[in-house]
Amino acid sequence: MSEGPILSVEALHKYFPVRNVWKRRVGWLRAVDGVSFDVRRGEILGVVGESGCGKSTLGKTLMGIQAATSGRVVFEGHDIAGLKPHQSRKYREHLQYCYQDPGASLDPRWTIRASLHEPLVVHTTLPAAEREARVREILAAVGLPETHLDLYPHEISGGQQRRVGLARILTLKPSVVILDEPTSGLDVSVQATILNLFLDLQRAFGLTYLFISHDLSVVRLVCDRVAVMYLGRIVEIGETEQIFSAPRHPYTQSLLAAIPRIGGARVTDSFALEGEPPSPTNLPSGCRFRTRCPRASTICASEDPALTGDVAQHQAACHFPD
Ligand SMILES: Nc1ncnc2c1ncn2[C@@H]1O[C@H](COP(=O)(O)OP(=O)(O)OP(=O)(O)O)[C@@H](O)[C@H]1O
Ligand SMILES: [Mg+2]
């Protein structure tokens, strides 16, 4: 059976205006700058990269929380990128975004019950009793006791807030969930239980995940494929094992070299990445990684490399890939 991708992203751009003190636009911040990839049904696709490279902006733009500047987002057969929020609502119900900061998605004045009922009130016409039944079912699925329904967000732990955030999304029976830094700020033992919960829920509800994280060890553990972002672009994408055992882009190699290791050899002998990336308001010509790249040569300043390689397995955007 060959099924098409569940989510297909084509040349997606999200630019933010940069304004001077008189509110005049003086330039653009290119947060997502021409990103294309497919998400296969049932997979976990990781998105990694340094802080500020555009991971959250990518997630929010896919979700329509922010309007795309240009490009296509085809979800379950419909291009939702160009639609107004009210037009796309019925398509986006099955595409959900789980916020980087779980506290931000929960209203401090609402009980957990009210927070869990709200998406159902907004998106469905279910009567109250059926809503309550669905809420209780999902609460059990994320491993929280029913007594938590009457608590407020500040009365539960960070790990439990994550579970509530996830439950809120699951009430709408999504097919694709964008998880933005789902384990950041949790201690290691809680991280492990939350990761197992994601995997259990994936099986139970047939979910597909876009897993945004800067924690490469976690990504290696749970993702089927990984996309590496640098300054608003995907510079390498492929099967997780390919990316970790034979990275082709110097940026990916430097990210992997930075993972601390206990015993064992490093995956690569590459250089460690130094300094800050250039500003997304003022990108270098040609390859945007060249200012930090040990392999940079004249062609890198004049030509912007496209992703090349085997689309199904492993692609890198570099003039001199390994
Ligand atoms: N609403 C906004 N208005 C203007 N600029 C923004 C906005 N949101 C994000 N940016 C800018 O876009 C770039 C990408 O930000 P984004 O939050 O997507 O990064 P990130 O990869 O998620 O980083 P982190 O790992 O720190 O969460 C940054 O330079 C950021 O300052
Ligand atoms: Mg982010």
Please state, in angstroms and rounded to a whole number, the distance separating the CA atoms of residues 201 and 207: 7
Whole-model pTM: value is 0.91
Between helices 128-141 and 158-170, what is the axis angle to 10°?
130
Q: What confidence tens digit (pLDDT) does each residue in 186-243 have?
A: 888 888 888 998 999 999 989 999 999 988 999 999 999 999 999 999 999 999 999 9
1: amino acid identity, one letter: M
- Which ligand is nearest the CA of 99, by number? 2
Query: In ligand 1, which atom is closest to the CA atom of 279?
Result: 29
Q: How many CB atoms lie within 10 A of CB 213?
A: 22
> Could you give the 3-state DSSP secondary structure of residue 259?
coil
Give 100 Cα–ligand 1 centroid separation in angstroms: 12
Pocket, ligand 1, Cβ cutoff 6 A:
16, 29, 31, 49, 51-57, 100, 214, 280
Q: Which two tokens stand for residue 18?
A: 């940069």
DSSP assignment of 196-252, as one string? HHHHHHHHHHT-EEEEE-S-HHHHHHH-SEEEEEETTEEEEEEEHHHHHHS--SHHH
pLDDT value, residue 318: 97
Q: What are phi and psi of 138, to 5 degrees?
A: -70, -40
Q: Which positions ≥6 away from 45 have C-beta within 8 Å?
A: 37, 39, 209, 210, 211, 223, 224, 225, 226, 227
pLDDT value, residue 312: 84
Name the one residue in this structure whose structure tokens are 């099955």: 94
Please state, in angstroms and rounded to a whole number, the distance separating the CA atoms of residues 270 and 290: 15
Q: How many CB atoms lie within 10 A of CB 220?
A: 17
Q: Whose CA is nearest to atom 4 of ligand 1?
A: 16
Query: In ligand 1, which atom is closest to the CA atom of 212?
Result: 22
pLDDT value, residue 102: 72
∠ CA 249-255-259, nearest 5°, is 140
pLDDT value, residue 1: 45
Q: Whose CA is nearest to atom 9 of ligand 1?
A: 57
State how far Cα 229 lies from the chain centre: 11
Yes or no: say if 2 and 58 are a contact pair by the CB < 8 Å rule: no
Query: In ligand 1, which atom is closest to the CA atom of 181?
Result: 27
Q: Whose CA is nearest to atom 19 of ligand 1?
A: 52
Strand partners, 225: 45, 239
User: Where does the pLDDT of residue 36 fall: very low under 50, low under 70, confident under 90, or very high at 90 and above?
Assistant: very high
Q: What confidence tens digit (pLDDT) does each residue in 23-33 have?
A: 999 999 999 99
Rounded to 5, what percent of the chain is helix, strand, coil?
A: 35, 25, 40
DSSP assignment of 70-138, as one string? EEEEEETTEE-TTS-HHHHHHHHTTEEEE-SSHHHHS-TTS-HHHHHHHHHHHH----HHHHHHHHHHH
Q: What confidence tens digit (pLDDT) does each residue in 169-178 have?
A: 899 889 999 9
> Could you give the 3-state DSSP secondary structure of residue 45?
strand
- Which ligand is nearest the CA of 28, by number? 1
Would you say the C-alpha torsion 296, 271, 57, 5 has a positive or negative sign? Answer: positive
Q: Which two tokens stand for residue 206?
A: 């047939």
> Could you give the 3-state DSSP secondary structure of residue 275?
coil
Query: In ligand 1, which atom is closest to the CA atom of 66?
Result: 1
pLDDT above 60 for 263: no
Closest CA to 229 of 17, 18, 33: 33
- Which ligand is nearest the CA of 280, by number? 1
Q: Whose CA is nearest to atom 7 of ligand 1?
A: 16
Query: In ligand 1, which atom is closest to the CA atom of 53?
Result: 21
Q: Which two tokens stand for residue 247?
A: 């990275």
- Which ligand is nearest the CA of 61, by number? 1
Q: Which two tokens stand for residue 196?
A: 């197992």
Best residue for ligand 1 mutational test, from 12, 29, 179, 231 (most atoms within 8 Å of Cβ): 29
Q: What confidence tens digit (pLDDT) does each residue in 78-124 have?
A: 898 878 777 777 788 899 998 877 777 789 999 999 999 999 998 88
Q: What confidence tens digit (pLDDT) does each residue in 6-25 have?
A: 999 999 999 999 999 999 99
User: Under CATH, which number does the domain 7-94+174-269 receive?
Assistant: 3.40.50.300
Give 16 Cα–ligand 1 centroid separation in angstroms: 10
pLDDT value, residue 272: 66
Q: Whose CA is nearest to atom 14 of ligand 1?
A: 54
Q: How many CB atoms lie within 10 A of CB 303?
A: 12
Q: Which two tokens stand for residue 251?
A: 């940026």
